[in-house]
Amino acid sequence: MAYQTYPNQAPAEPAARPTRLRPGYGLRGPRRERHVLSPEDLGALAFPVGDDGVVIGVDPQHQPAVLGLFRPTSYELVLVGGLWTAQVIALRAAATGARIAVETGRPQAWASMAQAAGGGQPCVTVHQVGRLGAQGASVASPVLVVRDLGARPPRSRLSASPWQTTLTLLPYLGPNAARVLNAADLVGIQRVSPQEAELLARLLSLGDQEVAALPTLGDNITLWATRMRRQFVMTNPGEAEGQVLGGPRRMD
Domains of the chain: 70-244 (3.40.50.300)
**What's the burial of 224, exposed, middle or buried (CB within 10 Å: 0-12/13-18/19+)?**
buried
- Does residue 206 have a pLDDT over 80? yes
Q: pLDDT tens-digit profile of 124-180?
A: 999 999 888 888 999 999 999 999 999 999 988 888 899 999 999 999 999 989 999
Amino acid identity of residue 178, one-letter, is A
β-pair partners for 168: 78, 147
List CB contacts of 184: < 8 A, sequence separation 6 or more.
Answer: 76, 77, 78, 168
Distance CA 226, CA 238 (A): 27
Q: pLDDT tens-digit profile of 60-118?
A: 999 999 999 999 998 999 999 999 999 999 999 999 989 999 999 999 999 989 988 86
Distance CA 41, CA 38 (A): 5
Q: Radius of gyration of the chain from Cα atoms? A: 28
Predicted structure pTM score: 0.78
Amino acid identity of residue 213, one-letter, is A
Burial code (b: 16+ CB inside 10 Å, e: under 16) for 62-86 equals eeebbbebbeeebbbbbbbbbbbbb
